[in-house]
Structure 1
Amino acid sequence: MAESVQDFLKRLFLRAVEVADPMQSLGAFLPEKPAGRVVVIGAGKASARMAEAVEKVWGPCEGLVITRYGYARPCEGIEIVEAAHPVPDEMGFVATKRMIELVSGLGENDYVLALMSGGASALLIAPAGEISLAEKQAVNQALLASGAPIGQMNVVRKHLSRVKGGQLAAAAYPAKMLALLISDVPGDNPAEIGSGPTVGDTSTTADAKAILEQWKIEVPASVQQVLAAGSGVLKPDDEKLSRVSNVIFAAPSQSLEAARTLAEAEDCDVEILGDALEGEAREVARAHAELALSRQSERPEGSRPLLLLSGGELTVTRRGEGVGGPNAEYALALAFALRGAPGIHAIACDTDGVDGAAEVAGAVIGPDTLARADKAGADVEEALLTNDAHRFFDTIGDQVVTGPTLTNVNDFRAIWIG
């Protein structure tokens, strides 16, 4: 292999991102443009790219899409609004209100195309009851810092919203709706993608309360009142969801398979550990370090390199005030656990190009990571203690920076064992 191992791992990551690009994958799932009024709506980090892909096939369309700051794309008819993620802001709040107004009052002969991807939970912001935007922001921040898995976070988000848990689709009823989804959630459950604005849900306000209690998140009286009174989340069999079709057209499994194909073509053996891994980033990293060392010891001398691939969504329980994210923390904890083991390299990145609290996709590590860090004055144990993984990798030049990838199929991890 002429290129370095780390460059090869970066190429695998970029291939995983490429196959999830809506410009490459969405068109095959679009029907012919219906006659009559067609309204395109959407939210998420990939939604503007999805809108761009729609207009490439259908031409200019009426509509409104909300994406993350820096993720806008040029569209002829569909309006693109940028807002904050992962903590919502006023721009998202105002745009969500306009989106609800846009689809309300549509008739049964009208057609709505909904484009949803990861990030919609923060970008579609319409607090229920008397919950203020500031209060919703505070709850979001507490959830993100708690270490709660994404599925639990989304249950709470749904029951504090007027748009999630099928409520956006209900606002458009009786219009017919096709929702095209990019999955960024373990298990690819449509109800969890962006907190399911077009999908009903079986969870209850009691479930939301239990999650808040489990993770010791204190909430204001307005939140308590909404959870006591009952939310507007729809059950999956609700009549107002009867004209909705939800279709996932890009998912983590497809990206891992694309990486597998590329790696095998480059004379590597491949083992996929799963596309739906969850858990605390540093704990998963320790387990993967043990697995990598075990696999290395089992392989006969002269074997082809082995690649361990995995996806899913890891979490970080915030302990310090550093700049970090789950992929960088995974990479940091993996390097620490491997202790410079020869012949093992790895990459961990978020396919949306943003890992946690920095505009950085993730990081790469190798046998010399800890030695170079020590020489540069970067303390791995201190960085783990303070959740400061991004600053650590910035110091030694091992961050992976892509800018907006315009898609989002969750984490991508690869461990190369030589």
Structure 2
Amino acid sequence: MNPNRIINYEKLATDKPRADALEILEAGYEAVLTERVIQDNVSVLGDVITIRGRTFDMGPFKNVYLVGFGKGACSATYELYKILSTRLKKTVVIDRTILTTCPSAIEAFVGTHPMPSDANVEATKVVMGVAEEAGEDDLVFVIVAGGGSSLLCSSSAECDQNIKLFEDFEHVGATIRELNTVRKHIADLKGGGLAEALYPATVIGLVFSDIVGGNPEEVASGPTYPDTSTNADAQEILRRYKLEDGFVLRETPKDPKYFEKVTNIVLISNEDSIQKMADAARSLGYEALILNKPLYEFPGPALAKIFEQSAPGRVVLAGGEVQLQIPEDHGTGGRCQFLAMEALRALGPDDVFVAAASDGSDNSDEAGAIVDSGTIQRIEERKIDLAPYRARLDTIPVFEATGDEILTGRLDANVSDWYFLLTPR
């Protein structure tokens, strides 16, 4: 098999274990293709739409709207538009890139990510126009994807706070869940705020989840989900990291009436894609073991959980977003490549370790890295001292020198990261 998402497959697949690892990774990329996700999970017969086994009668509604935001939301919106176009009164989407095939009937806006900007604010105003227009007899489909926390931004003040929050949290080693908790309380539309804005319309949220561990209410900071956190929780997180200054907090909607007519359905998740990768591993003759908890800790403990499960003939798979503490004088690269660099400490002579971002962007134009004993040999041959690169989280120069960087180009799906260890028999 020659995987078609991995651009430099031929360069990377230097032996069978590495080729097997790349085929397993390709199964993950195939699983999250937006077109396939919509086609496999959404169908319409007459007035009835079926979404991942759940049916909804669109007949009684006066108007039907479609809005989307997040990485890959444009592709998802376009695929759903093709199914519903004759029924839709208005369609709006915000994404970091826009399809050239997107029809003019879709109001598509390019926003910035991970840092929000005034472009995001202007686009969000159009989404809010739908909220103001939709009434009690209307139906609104909302596509929610990872990255929506930045792309859906209702004011310049919120953008400024989000930028400060992102930059501050990078340097203190806070978790993504702590970041999202605070995000919900500095924004109007997160933490159920969009559901409140759309009330009293009926809302069907279609979620592309980049949150591992069964917490879809964290995707894009949960704009259509009720929020169980409070201002006090957000304040405690800011206090813990000594970041109290510069943030104006608000309480998220707590009245249950705003959510009585809201249904959220996860269309694809990290768990779904990991299962497809496990299936691919089994088809290649390996035993596949999926860790039962996502990896959100620092690289050392995360790798320990993976490597302690290794065995000959086994592939150990996990999803998540490992935690990093970014130094001020940091280098280039992302958490996947850093995890791969740290995995070099534990690799057995036959092991292959892969860490890759599902959207093809590990905080760079590279998706991640594949490492094995050959990587270690090339590092030694090139006399690369890893210590300064580790200290600065500077991974791209190392893996470009060894030729172990994974290239896919930026993809329109995002279900967080994939990590796995392959040990041949």
- CA 1:283/1:388 → structure 2, altered by over 3 Å: closer, same or farther? farther
1:54-74 CA distance string (max 9 Å, x none): 023223642111112x46463
- Of 313, 316, 323, 2:332 maps to 323
Which residues of 2 match residues 153-172 of structure 1 at below 5 A?
Answer: 153-172=179-198
Query: Contact 2:20–2:284 (CA<8 Å) still a contact in 1?
Result: no
Identity, in percent, stands at 28
What is the TM-score with the length of structure 1 in the denominator? 0.88
Residue equivalent to 1:193 = 219
Give the stretch that moved more between structures: 259-268 or 371-380: 371-380
- CA 1:379/1:83 → structure 2, altered by over 3 Å: closer, same or farther? farther
Residue equivalent to 2:419 = 413
Secondary structure, counterpart of 1:146 in structure 2:
coil
Which residues of 2 match residues 256-335 of structure 1 at below 5 A?
Answer: 256-274=274-292, 276-289=294-307, 291=308, 295-296=310-311, 305-319=313-327, 320-335=329-344
1:238-268 CA distance string (max 9 Å, x none): 2122111001111112111111111111111
Which residues of 2 match residues 223-238 of structure 1 at below 5 A?
Answer: 223=247, 226-227=248-249, 230-231=250-251, 233-235=252-254, 238=256
RMSD over aligned Cα atoms? 2.2
1:118-175 CA distance string (max 9 Å, x none): 1111111125xx9353343122222234322211111100100011011112111111
* Counterpart AA for 1:75: C
* Counterpart AA for 1:413: Y
Structure 2: gaps (5+ residues): 2-12, 50-57
- Of 346, 352, 362, 1:345 maps to 352
- CA 1:24/1:132 → structure 2, altered by over 3 Å: closer, same or farther? closer
Secondary structure, counterpart of 2:68 in structure 1:
strand
Secondary structure, counterpart of 1:276 in structure 2:
coil
- CA 1:216/1:368 → structure 2, altered by over 3 Å: closer, same or farther? farther
* Counterpart AA for 2:324: V
- Distance (whole Å) between structure 2 residues aligned to residue 7 and residue 110 of structure 1: 51
* Counterpart AA for 1:351: S
Aligned residues: 394
Secondary structure, counterpart of 1:79 in structure 2:
strand
Residue equivalent to 2:165 = 139
- Distance (whole Å) between structure 2 residues aligned to residue 275 and residue 52 of structure 1: 33
Give the stretch that moved more between structures: 387-396 or 210-219: 210-219
Say yes or no: does 1:245 pair with 2:266. Answer: no
- Distance (whole Å) between structure 2 residues aligned to residue 265 and residue 413 of structure 1: 19
Which residues of 2 match residues 7-406 of structure 1 at below 5 A?
Answer: 7-27=19-39, 28-29=41-42, 32=48, 34-35=58-59, 36-59=62-85, 61=88, 62-68=90-96, 70=97, 72=99, 74-76=101-103, 77-127=105-155, 131=157, 133-220=159-246, 223=247, 226-227=248-249, 230-231=250-251, 233-235=252-254, 238-274=256-292, 276-289=294-307, 291=308, 295-296=310-311, 305-319=313-327, 320-338=329-347, 341-355=348-362, 357-406=363-412
Secondary structure, counterpart of 1:213 in structure 2:
helix
Query: Contact 1:43–1:120 (CA<8 Å) still a contact in 2?
Result: yes
Structure 1: gaps (5+ residues): 300-304
- Distance (whole Å) between structure 2 residues aligned to residue 57 and residue 181 of structure 1: 17
How far off is 1:275 after superposition? Answer: 5.5
What is the TM-score with the length of structure 2 in the denominator? 0.87
Secondary structure, counterpart of 2:120 in structure 1:
helix
Query: Contact 2:212–2:271 (CA<8 Å) still a contact in 1?
Result: no
Query: Contact 1:282–1:329 (CA<8 Å) still a contact in 2?
Result: no
Secondary structure, counterpart of 1:277 in structure 2:
coil
